[in-house]
Amino acid sequence: MSQMRSESPVAEAAFDIPPDRRPRHIAVIMDGNGRWAQKRNQPRIAGHRAGAKAVRDIIIECARLELDALTLYSFSMENWKRPAAEVGALMDLYLQYLVKERRELVEHNIRFVQLGRRQGLPQSVLDEVDQTAAATSHCNGLTLCVALNYSSRTEITDALRAIVDDVLAGRIDPADIDEDMISQNLYTAGLPDPDLLIRTAGELRISNYLLWQISYAEMYVTDVYWPDFSVQSLHDAIREYARRKRRFGGLDHTDD
């Protein structure tokens, strides 16, 4: 189910949800950059630039709240269908972000991970991705996963291919294949599955995002466009998550 909420107009200095009721891993579909720009009669790239500023605030707040992981849907494999000028501008923006924010990621003890296929990405982007991953590899606070050139169906396909290769090489028995083995061959291996999936801009779609991992994630949808998604917006989403009863298919003592 989705949850439509309006934004609270009052910013908070402190957060009232205790750590044990916060999600360990938040996944975000950052939607609405283009519409945000169009409403202001600006080019779409202006919306992406504004969205990048929102990214920074949300990352730092998730680190401050001591979450385990934050996964951001940055660029899907389907996004290559967009105009070449917009794709190029997005790649340039991504490069700028990696170079500019690398030191701050280290200062906030944030480990950077890229999710998605490397094939097809510009070498300049891959170089900065690798440098940022290396520079933050020792960090043990928040894990920031950026889904770049990402498709969940492709991710599952890649995982199955890796398992088949192991079977053919005699390294594993087909009878030993289970859910844990599949999870360990996904791009997110070693990370907890998302507890909370946030989608901005009001769309009620998953959009080929973490299909395996979000099996039991709570969904929260807001009409707010991503550039306007603030720390207060994040707090609202986590508060809603804390109000939910997570049964994982079972019952609790309050159920009839």
The residues annotated with a catalytic role in the active site are: 31, 79
For residue 91, CA distances in Å to 44, 58, 88, 193 come to 14, 21, 5, 28
The alpha carbons of the chain give a radius of gyration, in whole angstroms, of 19
For residue 59, CA distances in Å to 8, 14, 184 come to 20, 17, 25
Interatomic CA distance for residues 139 and 108, integer angstroms: 9
CB of 118 within 8 A of CB of 150?
no
* φ and ψ at residue 56, rounded to 5 degrees: -60, -45
CB of 200 within 8 A of CB of 5?
no
